[in-house]
Amino acid sequence: MKLNERSVAYYASCDSPTDKTGYLHKKGERNTAYHRRWFVLKGNLFFYFEEKDSRDPIGVIILEGCTVELCESSEEYAFAIKFENVKSRTYKMAAESQGEMESWVKALSRASFDYMRIVVKELEKQLEEMQQNRVSGRKSHRKLLRKQAINPHSASQISHSFSLSYGTPVKENGYVTWNTTQDQTIDTELNGKAHATNDNSDISKYSTDQAPERPLHTQRLPPPLPPRRRSGTGGVTSGIGGLMLTQDSNTAAGTFSFTRLHELFGRDVIQLRRQWQENKFRNDGGSQLDQMV
Amino acid sequence: MRYNEKELLCLSKQPAEKAAELTMRGPKRNDAAKSRLVKLVVNFLFYFRIDEEEPVGALLLEQCRIQKEDDTGFSLAFVDEPERKYSFVCENKDECEEWIDALTKASYEYMRQSLIFYRHEIKKITGKDPLEQYGISEETRFQPRS
């Protein structure tokens, strides 16, 4: 399979924002020694260079459909990048300090395109809802719900006018440009392969307790509006704070919960810390545990 | 440059944000126009020979420029080699505009900029950073850069 490698290499070194850089030790594929390399994380691409001042990367790891976990190793501060796809290689890495290891694990586990997309969609939705509140001039929560139920067109009109006044990247109709059933048909017919439908088990990808059923990045349905809850003062609680995993007749298979997804992300990090703490405790013979914030 | 090709291959088989049979021409002078199944998955554009399981190739959609070329066509070129254009022809004008829109917004960098924008706008209205409640407001990827 061809890849636009020159341009990918250009992307690695150009001045677009980097998310994290630093030295890491990477275990070779055939030569199983660990090599010290300069790593640059940009978006969902994890580049490695021979040296910090090398012009071109030696290689890149595409970070979609992977998990990042601690691993057993002769090296200290070791972690691994594992892919759901069984045929894909596992990358074993070692950081140079505890802090660096934690920092890399955190940065890499949230590097996927899908993660960024989820956050963007959530903020986009929040902003649209605020605009609706402003335009309608009504603070009443019940009235807002009724308005949305009766006149779904107003949402698209508002976000359209919003995008005009702000000149922003808000989508014209306020909705995700993902194609759903239309694309599935195309894929099935032209590719000769049937794709499985999405279900709520996408979120289980990020849980270390369950075997992932389907990668989150294949979730193609935009998250539907969450049910609202009144707070004690009668105001509207934030859509996210009040989210529950519910199914109703309007939502497609699987209701997306942003809070839950974040809990699951956080849980991974907490578990990793706990694992390390236990290991350290054992190795130190019960000496003082570091206070980890 | 090494890359995890197996993972890229796996990605090419995931459900796409957009997929269609388009006429595609490579950037070299001798490249002929061919019918390809073109598939957008995250920030990669895959192209397959019709009815083949594995893509002929993949294009990372970062640092690239999409341009309309007459009514039903568009071109894709990368910032480091702007004269090298990949050309695409669609069935009709609407399809062409949809593709241009989708590809322009397909990059990770575009998403990042959108996020920074929304975050800023929400904070202007509410006075609060919307990312704070998820404990992610300090993450590097969400910060505006000069």
pLDDT tens-digit readout, A133-187 = 877 775 555 665 665 555 545 444 434 443 333 334 444 444 333 433 333 333 3
Question: A89 or A285: which carries more pLDDT confidence?
Answer: A89
A168 interaction partners in chain B (CB closer than 8 Å): 114, 117, 121
> What is the reported pLDDT for A136?
76
Nearest to B60 by CA among B74, B49, B45: B45
Nearest to B59 by CA among B12, B23, B17, B110: B12
Instruction: Give the number of other Cβ atoms within 10 Å of residue A32's Cβ.
Output: 8
Nearest neighbour of B54 by CB, restricted to A1, A42, A64: A1
B114 interaction partners in chain A (CB closer than 8 Å): 120, 124, 168-169
d(C-alpha A62, C-alpha B5), whole Å = 9
Nearest neighbour of B5 by CB, restricted to A1, A4, A217: A1
Q: How far is CA B113 from CA A4, A18, A206, B60, in A?
A: 24, 13, 25, 18
- Cβ of B77 under 8 Å from any chain A Cβ? no
DSSP code string of B19-81: EEEEEEE-SSTTPPPEEEEEEEETTEEEEEETT-SS-SEEEE-SSEEEEEETTTEEEEEETTE
pLDDT band at A283 (very low <50, low <70, confident <90, very high): low
pLDDT band at A267 (very low <50, low <70, confident <90, very high): low
User: What are the percentages of helix, strand and coil residues in chain A, rounded to 5?
Assistant: 40, 15, 45
Nearest to A8 by CA among B142, B20, B134, B43: B43
Q: Which residues lie across from A80 on neighbouring strands? A: A69, A92
b/e A154-190 (16+ beta carbons within 10 angstroms → b)? ebeebbeebbeeeebbbbeebebbbbeeebbebbeeb
Nearest to A22 by CA among A9, A43, A36: A36
- Cβ of B7 under 8 Å from any chain A Cβ? yes
Q: Is A189 helix (H, G, I), strand (E, B) or coil?
A: helix
Tell me which of A2, A3, A4, A263 to substitute to probe the interface with B (most B C-beta atoms closer than 10 Å).
Answer: A4
> What is the reported pLDDT for A51?
95
CB B75 within 8 A of CB B66: yes
CB B141 within 8 A of CB A116: yes
pLDDT band at A281 (very low <50, low <70, confident <90, very high): low
Nearest neighbour of B60 by CB, restricted to A4, A89, A119: A4
Residue ranges in chain A assigned as alpha helix (H):
5-13, 98-109, 113-136, 141-150, 152-166, 181-191, 258-283
Instruction: Give the number of other Cβ atoms within 10 Å of residue B59's Cβ.
Output: 22
A65 interaction partners in chain B (CB closer than 8 Å): 7, 10-11
> What is the reported pLDDT for A252?
39
> What is the reported pLDDT for B53?
94
Tell me which of A62, A139, A205, A269 to substitute to probe the interface with B (most B C-beta atoms closer than 10 Å).
Answer: A62
- List all residues of chain B from 25 to 64 with a beta carbon under 8 Å from chain A: 37, 39, 41-43, 48, 50-51, 53-60, 62-64
CA dihedral defined by A201, A205, A209, A210, rounded to 10 degrees? 50
- The pTM score is 0.67
> What is the reported pLDDT for A150?
53
Average pLDDT along chain B, 146 residues, taken 10 residues at a time: 92 95 94 96 97 96 96 96 96 96 96 95 92 87 81
> What is the reported pLDDT for A263?
64
> Residue A284: is its pLDDT beyond 60?
no
- Residue A38 tokens read as 């300069």
CB A114 within 8 A of CB A121: no
> Residue A90: is its pLDDT beyond 70?
yes
Nearest neighbour of A195 by CB, restricted to B15, B50, B98: B15
Question: A252 or B101: which carries more pLDDT confidence?
Answer: B101
List the helix and strand counts (H, then E) for chain B.
Answer: 3, 8
Highest mean pLDDT among A26-35, A75-84, A187-196, B34-43: B34-43
- Residue A34 tokens read as 């660990």
**Beta A91-94 vs A78-83: how paired, if at all?**
antiparallel
pLDDT band at A280 (very low <50, low <70, confident <90, very high): low
> What is the reported pLDDT for A257?
59
Inter-chain CB proximity A193 and B17 less than 8 Å: no
CB A187 within 8 A of CB A193: yes
